[in-house]
Amino acid sequence: MPEKKTYYITTPIYYPSDKLHIGHSYTTVAADCEARYRRLKGYDVMFLTGTDEHGQKIQKKAEAKGVTPQAYVDEIVAGIKDLWALMDITNDKFIRTTDDYHVKAVQKIFKKLYDQGDIYKSEYEGHYCTPCESFWTETQLVDGKCPDCGGNVEITKEESYFFRLSKYQDRLIEFIEGNPDFISPSARKNEMLNNFIKKGLEDLCVSRTSFDWGVPVTFDDKHVVYVWVDALSNYITAMGYGSDDDSDYKKYWPADMHLVGKEIVRFHTIIWPALLMALDLPLPKQVYGHGWLLLNGDKMSKSKGNVVDPVILVDRYTSDAIRYFLLREVPFGSDGSFTPESLIKRINADLANDLGNLVSRTAAMEIKYFGGAMPEAKDRLNTEADDEVIGMLSQLSKTVEGYLDQLQFPLALTEIWKCVSRLNKYIDETAPWILSKNEEDKPRLAAVMYTLLEGIRIVSILLEPFMPKTPAKIWEQIGLEAGSDITVWDSAATWGLYPAGAVAKKGDPIFPRLDLEKELAALEEIKQAAEAKKEEKKEAPAEAKATDAKAELPEGVITIDDFAKVKLVVAEVMTAERVEGSEKLIKMKLNVGNAEKQVVSGIAKFYTPEEMVGKKVVFVANLAPATLCGVLSEGMILAATKGKKLTLLTIEGDLPAGSKIS
């Protein structure tokens, strides 16, 4: 038997956020629709999604919650997996960048690039915001201040590894121009070429030392790999690249389709191909940058209200209805708009009225006029209306496949709905209720019913990739079975397979009509209840939850999470001097790895300033600043004391300043 053709499709891996909104599910639903279609066409499909779990932001959020980053992401990732299950997503693999096999493979990739000279060590110079521990470029600053906290920034240097992105500029241009479909739609290709690549690529900073929630660089462990290098690699590490079993990599790579939102096309069409070129690996066949689902014309965010919470929407309206909305509403490649009104109107107009009515009216008439069982009638179709309907429905599968081959989901659905409308019009034109009145019109009535049932069969099969649960509901009402020869995908290409003798059954409406006003009021109520809950949480002291959890601990005992909040690092004393007017205090400048800090410490009776210079001490880096004798102290250094004795905690050996102590 010839081997099946493979089709490897990916979504971006998602940042773990408990604020995923309906817009986020757009990429995944679109990729799922394409994956389902390819499976129905007989491809051996690999559909990959996952989560992008490293980075400073996650580390900070975990710290703020008082939990370890791993515990923080574990909980959220479980929620993301549940969401995909709720939306009937059929990914074949789910990768987490915290998976051990991924971490090891990224380390190998980084080392290989370093060994071959594509990664080199240098210094990253930028603006540094100490409270936020973030580097910013000149253009990212807002009025010269930190864009996150609005505070002052200082120019600072951080030792970093760099990837020779500039070396790949010409090869990238050549590749993109030689493979016009690599970046789609083509407007995005022009944007990448003209606004970015041809303007000149600079080498890319690919490691960080200012936080440690990332993949450690094996040969220099104060560095962690830049999150985008870590994240992009998932597309090959998930297939086993860099592991003992790379059979999936050999089978599926290069990917056929990286489906991504427009804002991250840049990473996928510049950094990613350059990394692959450096690794001497084949490039993916296509990166498709889709548009955004906007909320009332604005960027969506869950903080704008619960109307965009996908769990609430799916629970209330079913995953098929939400999938339909997403795939129908956003012209693929451009932006689309979401409002509760637009969702409810689409459900009512397209699903309840057009499709739902077609199915329920047809089944009801078949039951009423023929006791449900279809008589032999297909050879009696001979009117102009019959010909038009047969012509449209015979072509439908080819047209839909043509659009699905190019990820044009709304166009495919539009074609299907043209047929749904044509069938509804056919009911009005043929007026079966009049035909039913005369016995001699019965053969014509049977022919009309046949056209409707066969039309519905073809439409229902083609709906499967978009709305996986709906076809079976329709089949039940028109007397067909899932898995039979006449409900498989390819059978939609042939007109005339609906069998005589099939028995229609009355069923519930496949999409009940919604009362717009009531729904809007209900959604508003849900939103307000959620907001009230949020307020309640805000009012309750932040520590309440943590205190509850610790209720059983003896007094004075802390948890490992409490301890993890204290950030201890190795600091080297650069300068030291007595604080004027104080017998006890020494003021020191410390090198803490990526910045310089000033501390004031009460050690003057035990150490001279000269003795202090060059010592490596333990520094508490995240202590709120304080002023001692009018001098700013940005942390503290640790010492052991007993009675009148005091000894500083110092670090032996050659651990560099900035090394983490845990």
Residues that bind ligand MSP (CB under 6 A): 12-15, 23-24, 26-27, 52, 231-232, 234, 260-261, 263-264, 292-293, 300
Q: SS3 for 135? A: strand
DSSP 285-319: S-EEEE--EEETTB---GGG-GGG-HHHHHHHH-H
DSSP alpha helix (H) spans, 464-571: 470-478, 516-539, 544-549, 560-564
Given the complex with ligand MSP, which of 55 and 356 has the nearer CB atom?
Answer: 55
Given the complex with ligand MSP, which of 343 and 392 has the nearer CB atom?
Answer: 343
What angle is formed at CA 162 by the lines to CA 158 and CA 164, rounded to 5 degrees?
155
Given the complex with ligand MSP, which of 52 and 212 has the nearer CB atom?
Answer: 52
Identity of the amino acid at 264:
I
Backbone angles phi, psi at 117, to 5 degrees: 90, 5
CA dihedral 69, 72, 76, 81 (to 10 degrees): 60
Q: How far is the CB of 52 from ligand MSP (least distance, A)?
A: 4
- Asked if residues 275 and 229 have their Cβ atoms less than 8 Å apart, the reply is yes
Q: How far is the CB of 317 from ligand MSP (least distance, A)?
A: 18
Q: How far is the CB of 17 from ligand MSP (least distance, A)?
A: 7
Identity of the amino acid at 251:
K
Given the complex with ligand MSP, which of 98 and 234 has the nearer CB atom?
Answer: 234
Cis peptide before 185 (omega within 30 of 0): yes
Given the complex with ligand MSP, which of 25 and 107 has the nearer CB atom?
Answer: 25
Given the complex with ligand MSP, which of 233 and 633 has the nearer CB atom?
Answer: 233
Helix, strand, coil distribution of the chain in percent, nearest 5: 45, 20, 35
Given the complex with ligand MSP, which of 294 and 568 has the nearer CB atom?
Answer: 294
Given the complex with ligand MSP, which of 261 and 602 has the nearer CB atom?
Answer: 261
Q: How far is the CB of 533 from ligand MSP (least distance, A)?
A: 24
Given the complex with ligand MSP, which of 30 and 612 has the nearer CB atom?
Answer: 30
Given the complex with ligand MSP, which of 46 and 260 has the nearer CB atom?
Answer: 260
Pairing of strands 287-290, 257-261: parallel
Q: How far is the CB of 31 from ligand MSP (least distance, A)?
A: 9
Q: How far is the CB of 107 from ligand MSP (least distance, A)?
A: 17
- Over its C-alpha atoms, the chain yields an Rg (Å, rounded) of 32
Q: How far apart are CA 172 and CA 16, in angstroms?
A: 31
- Nearest residue to ligand MSP, scored by beta-carbon proximity: 261
- Asked if residues 224 and 212 have their Cβ atoms less than 8 Å apart, the reply is yes
Q: How far is the CB of 434 from ligand MSP (least distance, A)?
A: 49
Q: How far is the CB of 188 from ligand MSP (least distance, A)?
A: 13
Identity of the amino acid at 662:
S
Q: How far apart are CA 155 and CA 67, in angstroms?
A: 32
Q: How far is the CB of 660 from ligand MSP (least distance, A)?
A: 25
Given the complex with ligand MSP, which of 9 and 153 has the nearer CB atom?
Answer: 9
Pairing of strands 6-14, 257-261: parallel
Q: How far is the CB of 86 from ligand MSP (least distance, A)?
A: 17
Q: How far apart are CA 281 and CA 135, in angstroms?
A: 32
Q: How far is the CB of 385 from ligand MSP (least distance, A)?
A: 41
Q: How far is the CB of 96 from ligand MSP (least distance, A)?
A: 12
Q: How far apart are CA 461 and CA 470, in angstroms?
A: 9
Stated as kind and residue range, the H or E segment containing 39 is helix 24-40
Given the complex with ligand MSP, which of 27 and 107 has the nearer CB atom?
Answer: 27
Token couple for 204: 């890319």
Residue owning tokens 């965010």: 301
Q: How far apart are CA 388 and CA 398, in angstroms?
A: 16
Nearest CA to 22 among 297, 292, 352, 409? 292
Given the complex with ligand MSP, which of 31 and 588 has the nearer CB atom?
Answer: 31
Q: How far apart are CA 150 and CA 148, in angstroms?
A: 6
Q: How far is the CB of 496 from ligand MSP (least distance, A)?
A: 41
Q: How far is the CB of 327 from ligand MSP (least distance, A)?
A: 12
Given the complex with ligand MSP, which of 272 and 369 has the nearer CB atom?
Answer: 272
Nearest CA to 310 among 300, 77, 512, 350? 300
Burial 67-106 (b: 16+ CB within 10 A, else e): bbbeebbeebbeebbebbeebbbebbebbbbbbeebbebb
